[in-house]
Structure 1
Amino acid sequence: MLPLRFSSVVRPLALAALVALGACSSDKKDDPTPTTPTNGFTWTTDGTNYASTTVVKSVAGGAMALLGQYKAPNNDTYNVTINVPATAGTYAVGANGTTGTLASYATTIGSTTTSYVASGSYGSGSVVVTSVTATEIVGTFTFTGEAFAPAGATKALTNGKFNIKR
């Protein structure tokens, strides 16, 4: 198996998924306890638990782009993006991470969007893909992403879980 290159395989998948995610919306309060979702993402950041209200996935060429979005009643949005190989395994993200593996978190609060990335030499963490079957993709994640602006700002996501129906 050839190593995945973010620019050649995952970037187009992530872009397509982001476009689709931007077209979706739903209002749902965050889940008080981050349990394994039945179709979506759960995670904790800054002491708050979130459950996705929208999920987008793309699996092609041995790579997966998984996105979960929580949209608050005031229209603020919180997006988790995970790009990993489409096979079960444990993947490091961030400094010295696995080629083609990326985790990011983007928030849009009012009119201000901030993106935190764990990929290449930025951030740190891991994604554990428990299973990839014809019907679902299951796993966990934890990562700390680093923002480009404001430079040096970080955001930690813990207790991350996903169960994506295919």
Structure 2
Amino acid sequence: MKTIYKTVMAMIAATTLLTSCSDDSDGNTGGNTPSGTYISAKVGGSTFETLSQQGFNAASATKQVIGDDTFITITATSGNTNTMVITLMGITATGTYDVGPASGNAVAFFDTATETAFASSADCAGAEGELKVTHYSAEKIEGTFTFTGKSDDDCSQSKTVTQGKFRGIYAN
């Protein structure tokens, strides 16, 4: 299961790089909020910023509604190919939401250098987080987040993610 999770994360990163575009043509975000879909945060004190160059934004967002269920995914890849993914289930309004193991919601960071995924939903003590949705509409979702992600492979490994911000403009 852990290998499948890592493979899925790598596939999401590759898909994001190959299919995402935005109208942000200013080059790298340089600390400015991009105009399209993005995720930015501090990961263990280092900056994670969605790659954005010459109108290309390495991020995507989808919203699927099936019956009464809503499933939102926002994926972003940084310049060094690290990836961050936000998955939300049942979110249909602004508010503060848990992104821990029991919630069904999650934020994950995939470190390509170590090939390790750190998720707020990991089945490890201390995996936890909070996400605030500040804007919710039929076209987009925006907000902030913090989380401590754990590695399912080794629960002693963790990444603390702070100052998280996101915007997802739905592709579908």
TM over 0.5: yes
Matches within 5 A, 1:2-151: 19-25=11-17, 31=30, 33=31, 36-39=33-36, 40-53=38-51, 54-61=58-65, 62-72=70-80, 77-84=81-88, 85-87=90-92, 88-95=94-101, 97-98=102-103, 100-109=104-113, 112-119=114-121, 121-122=123-124, 123-151=127-155
CA shift at 1:38, angstroms? 2.5
Would the aligned equivalents of 1:36 and 1:162 in 2 still touch at CA under 8 Å?
no
Equivalent position amino acid for 1:86 in 2: I
Equivalent position amino acid for 2:106 in 1: L
3-state DSSP class of the match of 2:86? strand
Between Structure 1 and Structure 2, the one with more strand by share is 1
Percent identity between the aligned chains? Answer: 24
Alignment-derived partner of residue 7 in structure 1:
none
Query: What TM-score comes out, normalization by structure 2 length?
Result: 0.69
Aligned equivalents of 2:110, 2:45: Cα separation in 1: 17
CA-based RMSD of the aligned residues comes to 2.5
**Gaps (5+ residues) in structure 1?**
1-14
Aligned equivalents of 2:75, 2:141: Cα separation in 1: 12
Query: What TM-score comes out, normalization by structure 1 length?
Result: 0.72
Aligned equivalents of 2:165, 2:85: Cα separation in 1: 12
Change in Cα spacing, 1:48 to 1:141, as seen in structure 2 (3 Å) is: same
**Gaps (5+ residues) in structure 2?**
1-7, 19-26, 52-57
Work out the number of aligned pairs and report it: 140
Change in Cα spacing, 1:120 to 1:24, as seen in structure 2 (3 Å) is: closer
